[in-house]
Each structure stands twice: as C-alpha cells, then as structure tokens.
Amino acid sequence: MVAFDFGLKRTILRRLVDHGCRVTVVPATTTAADVLNLQPAGIFYSNGPGDPAATGYAVETLQQLLGRVPVFGICLGHQLMGLALGGRTYKLPFGHHGTNHPVRHLPTGHIEITSQNHGFAVDPSTLPAKVEVTHINLNDQTLEGFYHRGIPAFGVQYHPEAGPGPHDATYLFNEFVHLMKQQ
C-alpha cells in the first residue's frame, strides 16, 4: 500500500505493518499517476497540520485515486477526502486537542475514547448522499468519520493509532486491510 506523508506519524506506520501491510511512503505532492504506477492495494492519506483547503493539489490527486483502490484517511487525510468528495471544511471555534475525546461509532453505538489534534472539520451536510456518517464527536456533535457506500473509501477525524484508551479504534486498520483484500 502507499501512504501519503502530510505529517505522517511513525505510530501509524507501525499499526499498518502490524496489520500485515507493506507500506511505501510517498511525499504529499506525489501525483496520482506515480502512485498508480506502484500498483498499490490501497492508499492511506495521513494526518498533518493546517487548513485542508490550502492543499488543493492533494484534493485533486485524491479525486483521481478514489474508486481506483481503497482509501483510508486520518485527520487531515479525512478532511482532504471530504473535500475530494465534494464536501466543505470549516474552522472549529476551539479545535480538538488532546486525549479522551468521546466519539460514538454510529453503526454499533459504541463510544470510543480518542486522541485528537485538529482545528478544522468536515461539514457533513455538504457531503454527497452516498457518504454515510459513521462517527460523531459527543462533545460538540461534529463529524468524526464517514464511509462512502459506492467506493471503498473511509476516513476518521481522530487518531486511531493513538492509545488513549484500550486501542478502541484498532478495528479501523482491520477494515482497511479487509477492503484491500476485496479488490
């Protein structure tokens, strides 16, 4: 699989490898054609700093990759996927920083204790109908995760590789590996 580095944390790479992935890390500015030449089983869009709207090149690349191979986005990667799917992002009044942020996984009703570090969010009302909201922040009801029902792509706003709780969100790496095996 290919991981785009927008500020990629080593822990994410360890989690992907722990789930059986062979990971090739590429710079954030790598083109879709160059990534597809690597024939990846999946694409990972990493976390990183700043305003997602300022990285139009990354949105354009992701638009060219979506539907070709499974895509998983975390934090900034989640926001970039929201933009690539036609949604909008906005600046949070205070941002989400630190550990112990409660997030509800809507399909199961489970509460995950998450680690977060971001100042922007995806506006769920701007996403296309085929995008299903999967996670909601219980502190302020902001979007924390979504899944596209038509293509193998999903993202979460928080950091599933972090360990604020008993690895509450490890299942997301399992889901990504499952999507790659289905292709």
Domains of the chain: 2-182 (3.40.50.880)
Count CB neighbours of 10 within 10 A.
8
- 60 is a catalytic site residue: no
Q: Active site residue: 19, 21, 75, 118, which one?
A: 75
Q: Active site residue: 96, 101, 112, 161, which one?
A: 161
- 159 is a catalytic site residue: yes
How far from each other are the two terminal CA atoms of the chain, in whole angstroms? 12
pLDDT value of position 65: 98
Give the percent of the chain with pLDDT over 90: 79
How would you class 56 by CB atoms within 10 Å of its CB: exposed for 0-12, middle for 13-18, buried for 19 or more?
exposed
pLDDT band at 175 (very low <50, low <70, confident <90, very high): confident
pLDDT 10s digits, 2-44: 999 999 989 899 999 999 999 999 999 999 999 999 999 999 9
